[in-house]
Amino acid sequence: MSDLRTSEILETIEMIDKECLDIRTITMGISLLDCADSDIRRSCEKIEKKILRLAKDLVKTGEEISLTYGIPVVNKRISVTPIALLCAVSGGDPVEYALTLEKCARELGIDFIGGYSALVQKGFSAGDRELIASIPRALAATEHICASVNVGSTKAGINMDAVQMMGKIVRECAEMTAERDSLGAAKLVVLCNAPEDNPFMAGAFHGVGEPDAEIHVGVSGPGVVRAVLAKADKTLPLNEIAELVKRTAFKITRMGQLVGSVASAKLGIPAGIVDLSLAPTPAAGDSVAEILEEMGLDSCGAYGTTACLALLNDAVKKGGVMAAQAVGGLSGSFIPVSEDAGMIRAVKNGTLNLEKLEAMTAVCSVGLDMVIVPGDTPAEILSGVIADEAAIGMVNLKTTAVRIIPAIGKKEGDHVNFGGLLGEGDVMHINRTGNAVLIARGGRIPSPMQALKN
Amino acid sequence: MKAVITTVGKDRVGILAMMANACADNQINILDVSQTILDGIFTMTMVVDTEKLSVPLADFAAYLQQLGEKNGLVIRLMNKEIFDSMHRV
């Protein structure tokens, strides 16, 4: 068969048909810095004009690639300059920006716009507090907008005033969307060491060091890795398992790289990065937890889970990095509980708890993600969770994040269903031992020795 | 541009002829064909040149999909680059 073997063609088709291989997202990063105006109304007009101009063909291009390359492009997204920066110039009610972005998303048929964000790792500047305070209203009033707040970094330390604030904000987001299973909190992520070129939601924003516009791609391939490991002998040593993961990650990422280059050429916008992340979906078989189980665990959450995840995360990077021209974003393995059929099951059968997940976040690519806790969880407990995750990220020079949903009106063991890619899951047990004095202290946890690299 | 057309479904008389006609009708040159029948399931992969294709590629891909649905087959067209990028360094 010319220079391709039939078996290779069929392997690719099987990955797409049976193993849920797809392009999770083509995300266009757009800088809004040139839209800032001292009049918020003018600012919003300029934003609308710029987004509609640059992204007018984004959805069409994604669909065209789906059709002619035979690979599904599931989401078409946009990430923008952190809106707090625009608030600093314009003042006014930040929710106006959220509504403008929502209007753009609807008009263009975009799945999500990320960047209703503030970067406050070292402290607050003009616009930051106003934006953070407005997040619950913004998320309740919109459908397609995602918010994020970076509260710490290895270089800056952890802004504990922001951590304190975010516990309350997460609760407010949940409360204001209580009738929708507290969906608002699922669209807000609190980050440490946030990457500025991330195509994945809810943490996507377009950093100030990025070009005016660029095209990022994120691939979803846990099903493919799982299928490869399922076929492997159960006595295969782990170094060889790592090789299998590497080779598979290489193939998946090459496809992502191709789609990124094609989309960039079609849209006339420079290619940004490929995010190597294994992003699970609630679909059967498309699960990171099941990859870990294929390595030899009876259930995700068993002792050995963190070790398996460390191997997976590293092998994915090693395989992917050679396949992509530029790697960025989060690039590793996600562990979003409600979006991963294996994790949903592990929570249900009691083998996966928050403490184990916290350990896993030390070696995965992000953090505590899509975790559902009882609706009456106090704000300071949520702040404590955020502080611990930020500390893991700060010390280990990695991105960590918390996307936690206090499901209003629900208690431990109840079921919550967000629908779509956000998935579903049981409400988990959370340790409520008091930490109010700690959280009330505020201030800043200084940056660690790891920051002093120069 | 080169593309790969795969056709999968229950074996019967005329699948190859139908596909060859669909290509010819749209000025598509078939460069290579390979087919297998395993347990009554027909699998054919064609490498084709779409240089002279008379309609937009996306329209032709959609047409093939419909042709497959009408005939109880799964027919898909994929740009050959996707296989080259995955399986060749």
ipTM: 0.90
pLDDT band with cut points at 50, 70 and 90 for residue A17: confident
User: pLDDT digit string (tens) for A82-124?
Assistant: 999 999 999 999 999 999 999 999 999 999 999 999 999 999 9
Structure tokens at A286: 């498309």
Q: Comparing C-alpha atoms, which of A246, A204, A188, A263 is closest to residue A23?
A: A263
| Sign, CA torsion A177/A179/A182/A186 | negative
Q: Which of B57, B62, B87 sits opposite A8 (nearest CB)?
A: B87
What is the total count of domains within chain B?
1
B78, B84, B88: which to substitute to probe chain A, counting the most A Cβ within 10 Å?
A: B78
> Which residue spans within A174-314 are E strands per DSSP?
188-192, 213-220, 271-275
Q: Do B32 and A13 touch (CB under 8 A)?
A: no
List the CATH number of the domain containing B30. 3.30.70.260
Report domain A218-245+272-446's class: alpha beta
Beta-carbon neighbour count of residue A255 at 10 Å? 27
Query: Among residues A194, A215, A206, which one has the least CA distance to residue A76?
Result: A215
In this complex, do A1 and B34 lie within 8 Å of one another by their Cβ atoms?
yes
CB contacts < 8 A, A to B, total 72
pLDDT at A196 over 80: yes
CA distance A71 to chain B (A): 8
* Residue A5: band (very low, low, confident or very high) from pLDDT cuts 50, 70, 90: confident
Q: A218-245+272-446: same fold as A24-192?
A: yes
Least Cα separation, residue A170 to chain B (angstroms): 41
Output the pLDDT for position B80: 94
A2 vs B6, B43, B47: nearest CB: B47
CB spacing of B78 vs A257 below 8 angstroms:
no
Interchain pair B62, A6: CB under 8 A: no
Q: Which helix (H) or strand (E) holds A231?
A: helix A222-231
Q: What is the DSSP letter of A199?
A: -
- For residue B76, which residues of chain A lie inside 8 Å, CB to CB? 13, 70
Which residues in chain A are closer than 8 Å to B36, comparing Cβ atoms?
Answer: 6
pLDDT of residue B65: 93
**A2: pLDDT confidence band, cut at 50, 70 and 90?**
low
Question: Per the structure block, which two tokens stand in for A188?
Answer: 């807000």
Per-residue confidence band for A430, with pLDDT thresholds at 50, 70 and 90: very high
Residues of chain A with pLDDT > 90, as a percent, come to: 92
Domain hosting B46: range is 2-87
Query: Is B78 within 8 Å of A71 when comparing Cβ atoms?
Result: yes
Residues in Cβ contact with A209 at an 8 Å cutoff, skipping those fewer than 6 apart: A196
Q: For A124-183, write each residue's pLDDT tens digit.
A: 999 999 999 999 999 999 999 999 999 999 999 999 999 999 999 999 999 999 999 999
Domain ranges of chain A: 24-192, 218-245+272-446
Give the separation between CA A394 and CA A151, rounded to whole angstroms: 10
Q: Which residues of A touch B9 (CB under 8 A)?
A: none
**Chain A residues 249-288 with CB within 8 Å of chain B:** 251, 254-255, 257-258, 262
Q: Does pLDDT of A1 surpass 70?
A: no
Buried b (16+ CB within 10 A) or exposed e, A208-226: eebeebbbbbbbbbbbbbb
Q: Among A5, A11, A67, whose Cβ lies nearest the Cβ of B62? A: A67
Which residues in chain A touch residue B82, judged by CB atoms under 8 angstroms apart?
Answer: 12, 69-71, 255, 258
CB contact under 8 A, B86 and A12: yes
A300-334, pLDDT tens digit by residue? 999 999 999 999 999 999 999 999 999 999 999 99
The fold adopted by the segment(s) A24-192 is Anaerobic Ribonucleotide-triphosphate Reductase Large Chain (3.20.70)
CA B39 to chain A, closest CA, distance in angstroms equals 16
Give the span between the Cα atoms of B83 and B89, in whole angstroms.
11
Mean pLDDT of A50-77: 95
Looking at residues A400-422, what average pLDDT do you find?
95
- So what's the pLDDT on residue B38? 82
Determine contact: A7 vs chain B, CB below 8 A.
no
Cα gap A120→A87, rounded to integer Å: 14
Instruction: Please check whether residue A13 touches B, CB under 8 A.
Output: yes
Whether the per-residue pLDDT at A353 is higher than 80: the answer is: yes
Instruction: Return residues 19-58 of B near A (CB < 8 Å).
Output: 31-32, 34, 36, 43, 45, 47, 57-58
Please state whether beta strands A22-30 and A73-80 pair in parallel, antiparallel, or not at all (unpaired). parallel
CB-CB neighbors (< 8 A) of A257 in chain B: 85
Mean pLDDT over B45-54 rounds to 93
* pLDDT tens, residue by residue, A249-280: 999 999 999 999 999 999 999 999 999 888 89
Q: How large a percentage of chain B has pLDDT more than 70?
A: 100
Contact (Cβ atoms closer than 8 angstroms) between residue A199 and residue A25: yes
Phi-psi region of A113 (alpha: psi -120 to 50; beta: other; left: phi over 0): beta
How much is the average pLDDT of B76-85?
94
Is pLDDT at A409 greater than 80 in this prediction? yes
Residues of chain B in contact with residue A251, where contact means CB-CB under 8 angstroms, are: 86-87
Q: Which residues of B touch A67 (CB under 8 A)?
A: 58, 61-62
Q: What is the mean pLDDT of chain A?
A: 96
Q: Coil, strand or helix: which one is A144?
A: coil
